[in-house]
Amino acid sequence: MLFFYLRHGDPIYDPDSLTELGIEQAEALSKRLSLYGLDKIYSSTSNRAIMTAKPTCEKLGLEPELLDFTNEHYALMELSYFSNNERKWLFQDGNIVNLFSDKEIIDLGDKWYEHPKFKEYDYKKGIERIAAESNKFFKELGYERIDGTGKYKVIKPNNQRVALFAHQGFGIAFLSHILNMPYPAFATHFDICHTGMTVIDFSEIDGYSTPKVLTLSSDSHLYREGLSTLYNYYVEF
């Protein structure tokens, strides 16, 4: 199985939608995805994710299956903090990013949320929810996660190309779990741009699969269509 993780296009958060640029990004992405096709398309229940998936669904004649557990609202409530009466992701704060790189956090591994600095928050709940729902999702696709490892037992061979349109904040937790990387490590070293395409190979070897990233947050479709490549509002490359 090839698994495609797509972030939504340039958003309007209230009301939940896409900007004109976001609509153009979604169209550009659909052209790329339609070259080789998809077998299944899933989407977050947020409107901005559904709108991003729409052009691809129309080109391929597929209906998206909605996955509410991927909606960013839940992840934001679980993996954020308040600063100046504003809710922010953990990876948006320089002090927390620095803390995530400390040896004490690194040594805690997957139990990073047990660090005294986080005692007033229940980050464990969010991490465990995303892990449990993700495991259920991939089991339905034919891959049963083996706890304590980065491997999945292949319980149903799957040669399909499967896509999920969702979000940045949720995606960082989701991808870190799939790839068996502690959330602080993934959150401080990787990011996902608008309509960025991440592809993960679930090839089977002797009945098992160890997911491997083939590309992370690729935006070549934006270059192809001459759209802005301003990365998450702050740098163009």
Is residue 155's pLDDT more than 80?
A: yes
Helix axes 20-36, 47-60, angle to 10 degrees: 40
pLDDT tens digit string along 156-188?
Answer: 999 999 999 999 999 999 999 999 999 999 999
pLDDT score at 127 = 97
**Residue of 226, 162, 234 lying closest to 193 (CA atoms):** 234
In the predicted model, what is the mean pLDDT of the chain?
95
**Letter for the amino acid at 195?**
T
pLDDT tens digit string along 63-99?
Answer: 999 999 999 999 999 999 887 788 899 999 899 999 9
Is residue 237's pLDDT more than 70?
A: no
pLDDT score at 85 = 82
**If you average pLDDT over residues 34-52, what whole number do you get?**
98
Whether the Cβ atoms of residue 11 and residue 218 lie closer than 8 Å to each other? no
Q: What is the dihedral of CA 143, 145, 151, 155, to 10 degrees?
A: -30
210-231 burial, b if ≥16 CB within 10 A, otherwise e?
ebeeeebbbbebbeeeebeeee
**If you average pLDDT over residues 15-23, what whole number do you get?**
97
Is residue 103's pLDDT more than 90?
A: yes
* Distances from the Cα of 165 to the Cα of 4, 59, 78, 212, 231, angstroms: 8, 15, 20, 19, 18
pLDDT tens digit string along 203-216?
Answer: 999 999 999 999 99
**Residue of 40, 20, 52 lying closest to 193 (CA atoms):** 52
Would you state the structure tokens that stand for residue 28, as one six-digit string?
């550009």
Q: What is the DSSP string of 157-178?
A: ----EEEEEE-HHHHHHHHHHH
Is residue 234's pLDDT more than 80?
A: no
pLDDT tens digit string along 48-61?
Answer: 999 999 999 999 99
3-state secondary structure of 204: strand
pLDDT score at 82 = 82
pLDDT score at 84 = 79
How many other β-carbons are positioned within 10 Å of the β-carbon of residue 10? Answer: 23
pLDDT score at 114 = 96
pTM: 0.96
